[in-house]
């Protein structure tokens, strides 16, 4: 049981867990999930941890086949700039390892910005907190759990 799944159970929101076989050595975790689940890549979202200031971080959730626009993300957060967080900081702040960061159940709840394209789908997939585990959830339930908001942050 991951912190993400525990949080979902406590919140009593509808969700579905999906598992696939993670292959050791894989570095493109998002595309591995697409292949493993056989889902539309526009519905599978990756969670990226970013630094807004030396003491403030946030997460961006975007479709795995897109790229994060750091300027748009900074603007959505009301920050001057944004940069991808150093991988070594991610477990300390989120409680998750690289490639398994969930926007739900983080150690230190971070501001969450979900790409606006999520609203085009009845459900989306986000990491369940470990490699090989995805959560299928409505975007509005995800926003409620993460106190997040929608913004156009991918290209």
Among residues 6, 26, 27, 28, the alpha carbon closest in space to that of 17 is found at 6
Residue 74: other Cβ atoms inside 10 A: 18
Mean pLDDT of the region 22-43: 83
pLDDT at 29 over 90: no
pLDDT at 27 over 90: no
Q: What are the residues facing 124 on neighbouring strands?
A: 137
pLDDT at 94 over 80: yes
pLDDT at 19 over 80: yes
**Is 99:123 a contact under the CB 8 Å cutoff?**
no
101 by DSSP, 3-state: which? Answer: coil
**Is 95:106 a contact under the CB 8 Å cutoff?**
yes
Which CA distances in Å does 5 have to 71, 76, 83, 91, 105?
A: 32, 27, 28, 17, 8
Among residues 100, 92, 94, the alpha carbon closest in space to that of 129 is found at 100
| pLDDT (tens digit per residue) in 41-79 | 999 999 999 999 988 999 999 999 999 999 999 999 999
Q: Which residue has the higher pLDDT, 34 or 65?
A: 65
User: pLDDT at position 32, please?
Assistant: 83
Q: What are the residues facing 140 on neighbouring strands?
A: none
User: pLDDT at position 95, please?
Assistant: 92
Among residues 71, 80, 63, 65, the alpha carbon closest in space to that of 116 is found at 63
Q: Where are the domains of the chain?
A: 3-151
pLDDT at 26 over 80: no
Q: In the chain, pLDDT over 90 holds for what percent of residues?
A: 75
For domain 3-151, the CATH superfamily is YbaK/aminoacyl-tRNA synthetase-associated domain (3.90.960.10)
């Amino acid at each position: 049981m991951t912190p993400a799944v525990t949080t979902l159970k406590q919140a009593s929101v509808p969700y579905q867990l999906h598992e696939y076989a993670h292959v050791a050595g894989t570095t493109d975790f998002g595309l591995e999930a697409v292949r493993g689940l056989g889902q539309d890549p526009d519905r599978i979202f990756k969670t990226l941890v970013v630094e807004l200031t030396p003491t403030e971080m946030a997460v961006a959730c975007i479709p795995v086949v897109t790229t994060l626009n750091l300027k748009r993300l900074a603007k959505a957060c009301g920050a001057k700039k944004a940069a991808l967080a150093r991988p070594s900081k991610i477990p300390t702040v989120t409680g998750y390892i690289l490639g398994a960061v969930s926007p739900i159940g983080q150690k230190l709840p971070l501001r969450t910005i979900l790409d606006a394209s999520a609203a085009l789908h009845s459900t989306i997939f986000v990491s369940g907190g470990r490699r090989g585990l995805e959560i299928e959830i409505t975007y509005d339930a995800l926003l409620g759990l993460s106190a997040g908001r929608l913004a156009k942050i991918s290209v």
